[in-house]
Amino acid sequence: MDTASLISSLLIAVGATLLAVSLAPTTRILRELAPGPTQVRWRLLRGFIVLFIAGYLVCLGTFSNQHGTSRVIVSSIFFLGACFVLLVCMLAHGTVQDVKRIATLEAETITDPLMGIYNRRHLDRRLEEEFDRARRYGFPLTLLLLDIDHFKKVNDEHGHPAGDLVLKGIGGILNATVRNVDVAARYGGEEVVVLLPHTHEADAAILAERIRRTIEGHPFPIDTPGGQAVSLRCTVSIGVASMGPECAGGAKLVEMADTAMYRAKQDGRNRVVVFRCGKEPAGTGGPAA
C-alpha cells in the first residue's frame, strides 16, 4: 500500500471512529428529552450517524484498492465531515446541559425550599400578571388563602422539625391537587395562597373544600422530641375571594381572601369561607358549615 492509500485509509478510519464517538452525546440527549417531535428528530439524526459509519467503512475497503491523490482529498472531506458531526453533537449536548442548569436555577429562585411550592416573590409577580389579564379580557380570577390551624401548638408540642414536616406534607398535597396553570405559593409562615386563573367562585369553593378535606384526613408522620414516631393530624382554614368591581389590584384580592379566612378562624376553624362584598362572609365547608 502506497503512502496516499495509507493516508486516505487512516483519515476514513479516524472519521468513522469520530462518528462512533458522536453517538455518545446524541444518546445522552435522547435520554434527557421528553417524548415528542424533538426526540424523534434526534433519533433520526442518530440513525443517519449509524448509516454514515457504515458508509465510511465501505469507503475504507474501497479506497484501499485505489490509487491517486484524489482519494486523499475525498478522504479528507470525509474526515472533516465526521469532525463537524462530532462537534455539533458535543455542542448540542453542552447546550442541553446549560438549559437544564438555567431551568434548575430559575426553579430554585421561585420555589419555597421547604414546602416545594412557589415562593412569595413569584406569587407577587404572577398575581399582578393574572389580575391584569383577567381585567383586560374579562376572565374570572379567584384566590384561596389557607392558614394551618393551631400551627404554633404543633411547633411548641412537637418541635420545629415536626412543623417543617407538616408544611412539606401540605405543599405536596397542594402540588398534587391544583392544576398546572394554578399558582400555589407560600405567602408567609404557615399561610399559603392558591391563585386560580380562569376559575369562578363556585368552582374555587369546591376546590378549597377538597383541599380542606384532604388535609384533614391526611396523617403527617413525625418524630417527637423523645424519638417516638406518631401520626399528626392537622386542619386548615381557607378564605375564598373572586375578582370583582371592588378589586383595584391583586393586593385587594388577597385582602378579601384574608378577611374570609379570619372569619373561618372565628367560626371554629377547619372550614371554607367565601368573601362576600358588602355582606357577611359565607361558609361553604367544615364541620359546622
Q: Do 235 and 276 reside in the same domain of the chain?
A: yes
* pLDDT given for residue 202 in this prediction: 95
- Whole-angstrom Cα distance, residue 98 to residue 32? 13
Query: Could you confirm whether 191 is annotated as catalytic?
Result: no
How many domains does the chain contain in total? Answer: 2
Say what the pLDDT of residue 187 is.
Answer: 95
137 and 204 within one domain: yes
Q: Are both 187 and 258 inside the same structural domain?
A: yes
Give a yes or no: residue 115 inside a domain.
no
CA–chain centroid gap for 53, Å, is: 39
Domain co-membership, 142 together with 76: no
Are residues 102 and 215 both part of a single domain? Answer: no
Residue 25 phi, psi dihedral angles, 5° rounding:
-65, -30
Q: What is the mean pLDDT of each run of 10 residues along the chain (289 residues)?
A: 76 89 91 86 91 84 62 83 91 87 78 94 94 92 96 89 93 95 94 96 96 96 74 94 85 94 95 77 57
Per DSSP, the three-state class of 113 is: coil
Name which of 53, 47, 67 is nearest 14 in CA terms: 53
- Enclosing domain of residue 167: 120-285
Q: Which of 32, 130, 190, 209 is catalytic?
A: 190
Q: Which of 53, 83, 110 is the last residue of a domain?
A: 110
94: in domain: yes
- pLDDT digit string (tens) for 4-57? 777 888 888 888 899 999 999 999 888 888 888 888 989 999 999 999 888 888
Co-location of 256 and 204 in the same domain: yes
Are residues 192 and 54 part of one domain? no
Is 274 within a domain? Answer: yes
Cite the beta strand spans of the chain per DSSP E: 141-148, 183-188, 191-197, 220-223, 229-232, 236-242, 272-274, 282-285
64 plus 136 within the same structural domain: no
Beta sheet of 183-188, edge-to-edge order: 183-188, 191-197, 141-148, 236-242, 272-274, 282-285
Give the DSSP H/E element, type plus range, for residue 90.
helix 70-110
Number of Cβ within 10 Å of residue 177's Cβ equals 15
- Give pLDDT tens digits for 119-132: 999 999 999 999 99
CA dist 235 and 218 (Å) reads: 9
**Claim to verify: residue 58 and residue 166 sit in the same structural domain:** no
Identify the domain boundary among 90, 110, 130: 110
Backbone angles phi, psi at 208, to 5 degrees: -60, -40
- Give the list of residues 6+ apart from residue 136 with CB closer than 8 angstroms, or none: none
CATH of the domain at 244: 3.30.70.270
Whether the Cβ atoms of residue 178 and residue 194 lie closer than 8 Å to each other: yes
